[in-house]
């Protein structure tokens, strides 16, 4: 059985082709800079060299078409045609208060996603386009929606309620929902493995930093709090999203600049964040290049982003009521940007968080879990490459078989200390050839020879 997963984010479309019978990823990749200039696809097929080409993708429908063309290409593809796919798992950002876990997509469910897409203006439209594009190619297989908000359903009311008229909650479902749930689920479960603890005994703070970014306070193996709220706009500074700001700012700008509600919505979601501060750059790679070239606004954007992340670390330690077992970085920026990690952790030694600068520079891989904390750091610092696609694959399979349940009652394959991701194992060999020092910071799993 082959399962395809599609994870259409605000500016990317990740995919994975999983051979369930052999428990192996036979292909994976990402289309980057969707809706932006300079689009490209990076495709990794088992037993073949990495394939990367430039390809403009003005929308997610074209990105999905590019993925399908690549998967079936006679030279770089891995399947003869799409008929071998037996199920598709789709990441869906927001289902409002309608869904608390993953579901099989029906026309009625797809319509519900459309009804609440105002709550996820950068993602829900992309999620819907991804589902519709895949359904056209694969109309006779189950399409499963993996809900990004499901992980956060364990938050206490003190974390998810807003101090607004209570009727807004009862009548309009206004509350904190939280996002990046599949990423937090994977990294939290893997954190338990690398720490040698049971999930219910694990306390960590996770920073998922990509174009979209959020943090999660994980207490006793469950989400206790998270930075994103009713929509993915709240919290950290992101590529094009403002994160936290005074709610009255919207009214002020509407009066001063004669802006409409739609103007404000567009400005805060698509013209703010790093792009808003720099005036040019939403991608951290571009911000870094500009900063290194002396661009003061790029430097300011970097400083603000790092400060916001650092502030939330302190608040989550307070909310947890104890020092966490570990601080975890994940997602594209969290996994690869040593400069952002350094900026975030600067000055946190008094909290028991001490970064090893040399280890931090070495940690650049999607294929291994690494430890970048100093030997005398009271709190461990890990870089755990996320695997949202694997969570989606396992949820989709369990939905097909009728065995799916909430994560506290469900055991994923990657929760085993002996779990091996065959594709990442092969990728690590290539990474070590380029970066031999990486070997010294790879986490040793307790109780195993790995």
Classified as helix, coil or strand, 67 is: helix
Query: What number of other Cβ atoms are within 10 A of residue 280's Cβ?
Result: 14
Other residues' Cβ atoms within 10 Å of the Cβ of residue 54: 9
The strands making up 51-54's β-sheet, listed across from edge to edge, are 51-54, 40-45, 24-32, 12-19, 2-8, 85-92, 143-147, 103-104
Q: Which of 21, 24, 148, 431 is catalytic?
A: 148
Give the alpha-carbon dihedral of 102, 103, 108, 112, to 10 degrees: 0
CATH 3.30.420.40, domain 2-147+391-415, yes or no: yes
The H or E element spanning position 19 is: strand 12-19
SS3 24: strand
At 450 the pLDDT is 65
- Within 8 A by CB and 6+ apart from 260, the residues are 254
Give the angle subtended at the CA of 272 by the CAs of 308 and 129, to the nearest 5°.
110
pLDDT in tens, the chain (450 residues): 899 999 887 778 889 999 999 898 899 999 998 888 899 999 989 889 999 999 999 988 898 889 989 999 999 999 988 888 989 999 898 887 777 788 999 999 999 888 888 777 767 888 888 898 888 888 888 899 998 888 999 999 999 999 999 999 999 889 999 999 999 999 999 999 999 999 999 999 999 999 899 999 999 999 999 999 998 899 999 999 999 999 999 999 999 999 999 999 999 999 999 999 999 999 999 999 999 999 999 999 999 999 999 999 999 999 999 999 999 999 999 999 999 999 999 999 999 999 999 999 999 999 999 999 999 999 999 999 999 889 999 999 998 888 998 899 999 999 999 999 887 888 899 999 999 999 999 999 987 876
By the 8 A CB rule, do 393 and 188 touch? no
6 three-state secondary structure: strand
pTM for the structure as a whole: 0.89
Domain boundaries, the chain: 2-147+391-415, 197-384+420-441
Distance CA 79, CA 2 (A): 10
CB contact at 8 A, 183 and 203 = no
Q: Locate the DSSP E strands across 116-262.
A: 143-147, 204-209, 213-219, 222-226
Domain 197-384+420-441, CATH number (from 3.40.1030.10, 3.40.140.80, 3.30.420.40, 3.20.20.70): 3.30.420.40
The confidence score (pLDDT) of residue 360 equals: 98
Q: How far apart are CA 362 and CA 213, in angstroms?
A: 23
Please state the φ and ψ torsions of residue 18, each to the nearest 5 degrees.
Answer: -120, 125
8 A C-beta contact, residue 213 and residue 226: no
Q: Which pLDDT score, from 0 to 100, does residue 251 have? A: 97
CA-to-CA distance for 33 and 155, rounded, in angstroms? Answer: 33
Active site residue 295: no
Sheet holding 213-219, edge to edge: 222-226, 213-219, 204-209, 326-330, 380-383, 370-371
């Amino acid at each position: 059985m082959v399962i395809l997963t599609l994870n259409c984010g605000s500016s990317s479309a990740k995919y994975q082709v999983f051979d369930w019978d052999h428990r192996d990823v036979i292909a994976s990749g990402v289309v980057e800079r969707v809706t932006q200039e300079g689009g490209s696809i990076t495709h990794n097929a088992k037993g073949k060299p990495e394939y990367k080409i430039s390809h403009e993708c003005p929308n997610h429908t074209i990105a999905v078409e590019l993925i399908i063309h690549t998967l079936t290409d006679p030279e770089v593809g891995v399947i003869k045609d799409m008929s071998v796919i037996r199920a598709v798992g789709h990441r869906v950002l927001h289902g409002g208060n309608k869904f608390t876990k993953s579901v099989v997509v029906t026309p009625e469910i797809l319509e519900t996603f459309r009804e609440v897409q105002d709550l996820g203006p950068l993602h829900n439209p992309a999620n819907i386009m991804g589902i519709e594009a895949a359904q056209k190619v694969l109309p006779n297989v189950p399409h499963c929606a993996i809900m990004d908000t499901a992980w956060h359903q364990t938050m206490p009311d003190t974390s998810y309620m807003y101090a607004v008229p209570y009727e807004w909650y009862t009548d309009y479902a206004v509350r904190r929902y939280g996002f990046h749930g599949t990423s937090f689920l994977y990294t939290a479960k893997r954190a338990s493995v690398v720490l040698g603890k049971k999930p219910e005994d694990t306390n960590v703070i996770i920073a998922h930093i990509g174009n979209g970014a959020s943090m999660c306070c994980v207490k006793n193996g469950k989400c206790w709090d998270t930075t994103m709220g009713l929509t993915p706009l709240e919290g950290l500074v992101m590529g094009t999203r403002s994160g936290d700001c005074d709610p009255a700012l919207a009214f002020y700008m509407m009066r001063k600049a004669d802006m409409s509600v739609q103007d404000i919505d567009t400005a805060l979601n698509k013209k703010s964040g790093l792009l808003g501060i720099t005036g040019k750059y939403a991608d951290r790679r571009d911000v870094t290049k500009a900063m290194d070239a002396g661009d003061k606004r790029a430097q300011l954007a970097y400083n603000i982003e790092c400060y916001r992340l650092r502030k939330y670390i302190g608040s989550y330690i307070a909310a947890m009521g104890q020092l966490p077992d570990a601080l975890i970085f994940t997602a594209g920026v969290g996994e690869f940007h040593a400069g952002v990690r350094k900026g975030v952790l600067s000055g946190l030694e008094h909290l028991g968080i001490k970064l090893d600068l040399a280890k931090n520079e070495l940690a650049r891989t999607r294929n291994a879990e690494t430890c970048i904390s100093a030997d005398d750091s009271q709190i461990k610092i890990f870089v755990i490459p996320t695997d949202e696609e694997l969570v989606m694959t396992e949820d989709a399979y369990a939905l097909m078989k009728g065995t799916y349940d909430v994560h506290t009652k469900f055991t994923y394959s990657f929760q085993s200390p002996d779990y091996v991701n065959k594709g990442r194992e092969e990728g690590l060999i290539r990474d070590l050839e380029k970066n031999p020092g990486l070997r010294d910071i790879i986490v040793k799993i307790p109780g195993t020879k790995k």
